[in-house]
Chain A
Amino acid sequence: MGQVLIIDDDSGVRDTFWLTLEACGHNVTTAAGGAEGLAAASKNTPDLIFLDLKMPGMNGVEILQKLQDICPQVPVYVVTGFYEEFLGPLRDLQAKGVPFEVARKPLGFNEIRAISEAVLAPRGKPISVTAGA
């Protein structure tokens, strides 16, 4: 069981993550934006963060940089469309040595579960998945 932080401005997405991860036995904190998400990460260090890239106000890239200062060891999955316009800014962050993984939006139940299992319940072996999981 782990502590998972979801930072996404879409309430439907937050609900999907919450339902899926709670069903997997994890404790889930959700945040609708960057400020709320950074405050949550500061208050209670999570074990895994799912971060939406495109949000009003502080965007995912800025939040990711700040998360590096707050909790640099916490794995972050940036959830975004796999399109050049979204991924370009992330390349700059990579070049600066900010580590993260990416996940394609939208994520379904099985995909969220696979990611949480890989990070929070590692068994020393990979997870077999299907196309689009």
Chain B
Amino acid sequence: MNAVTTANRRIVLRLFVAGATASAEKAKSALDTICADLRSSDITSSVELQVVDVLADPDTALMDQVFATPTVIRVSPGPSRRLFGDLSSPEMVMIGLQLAPEATLAR
């Protein structure tokens, strides 16, 4: 897997949802878990999760070329990666966004 080396890099994740649906809440929960894990593993300088409600902020969704909700984009580090659909599994989302601790890469 060509995962991103995240040491000393700022990680920015942007989640697009349509209000407070069940899928949105599950996605937020999974991404909160991912962000907490990344912070506690001390492998990156900072982790930021941005949540965009497309119903309230459609312009950002348009600029980021989001086609449907829920979608999460790894904005930084580049190149960007994006996932759509079932975002409820922290492990699957982490794999899909190619976020991996250096310890994992070193194995």
Contact = CB atoms under 8 A, between A and B. Distances in A.
B62 A82 contact: yes
Contact of A126 (B18, B62, B66, B92): B92
Contact of B21 (A87, A101, A124, A125): A101
A129 B82 contact: yes
B33 to A, nearest CB: 15
Nearest to A129: B84
A38 B85 CA distance: 26
Contacts of B72: 126
B65 A132 contact: yes
A87 B86 CA distance: 23
Interface string B64-77: 11111111100000
Given A90-B55, A102-B18, A111 B96 contact: no
Contacts of B80: 131
B7 interface: no
Most buried by B among A78, A125, A126, A127: A126
A104 B87 contact: no
A102 B55 contact: yes
Interface residues of A, number: 34
Contacts of A74: none
B106 interface: no
Contacts of A83: 58
Contacts of B61: 82, 104
25 contacts: A78-B18, A82-B59, A82-B66, A87-B55, A94-B20, A100-B18, A101-B69, A102-B54, A102-B55, A102-B68, A102-B69, A103-B68, A104-B66, A104-B68, A107-B68, A111-B68, A115-B84, A124-B86, A125-B89, A125-B96, A127-B83, A129-B67, A129-B71, A132-B65, A133-B67
Interface of B: 18-23, 54-56, 58-59, 61-62, 64-72, 80-87, 89, 92-93, 95-96
